Amino acid sequence: MKNSASIAQSMELAYEHFGQIDVAVNNAGYGIGGAIEELSEQDILASFEVNVFGSIYVIQSVLPYMRKKRYGHIINISSIAGLAPHTGWSIYAATKSALIGLSDALAQDVKSMGIHVTVVAPGGFRTEFNTAESLVVADHKIADYFSLHDEIKKFEAKHGKQLVIQKKLPKFLSSWWNRTTRQLAYF
């Protein structure tokens, strides 16, 4: 990834400024919809680059600081799609499933060093996720996938109509944070 060096540099600057790094949150990501054969190789690779490899590069950059202190918490934001995918979002689901698997294994790898790893798999709630800025939909449409295209249109039409949980989210995260076991959070 072209930006892996800039991620490492950002971690170094944060460490120099604050003297420690206690928490890293991987929240970058975007949706990509369409049948697998409708998506270009470039679309698929870009999705994995942002949704999976970006998180890996952040983790690689932050772990040396957390290992040194024997303390830290990495929080990876996945999606319910990584556990219960929906029609038309196979590549997105694959990236989010990969992040869940990565987080589960990483949590075991770093536990003995006092580092916690949590993966959060939220369902649909009101954000800008359903907008053109956050979603990529295949340009090339194959007529045989008409029902899949209808499902994607239904998903896009939900923008602004998702559940409003932002007021409940801080309370949920606060109570969840105080639990002793924090590996996977669904809401």
Closest by alpha carbon to 83, among 119, 59, 115, 39?
119
Q: Is 71 part of the annotated catalytic residue set?
A: no
Q: Is 15 part of the annotated catalytic residue set?
A: no
- State the DSSP code for 33: E
Q: Is 67 exposed, middle or buried (0-12, 13-18, 19+ CB in 10 A)?
A: middle
Q: Give the active site residue among 57, 61, 79, 96.
A: 96
Q: Give the active site residue among 78, 90, 97, 103.
A: 78
Beta-sheet strands, E only, within the chain: 23-26, 31-33, 72-77, 115-121, 135-137, 184-186
Q: Give the active site residue among 92, 97, 103, 145.
A: 92
Whole-number Cα distances in Å, 67 to 21, 70, 91: 10, 5, 33
C-alpha 120 chain-centroid distance:
8
Q: Is 96 part of the annotated catalytic residue set?
A: yes
* Catalytic site positions: 78, 92, 96
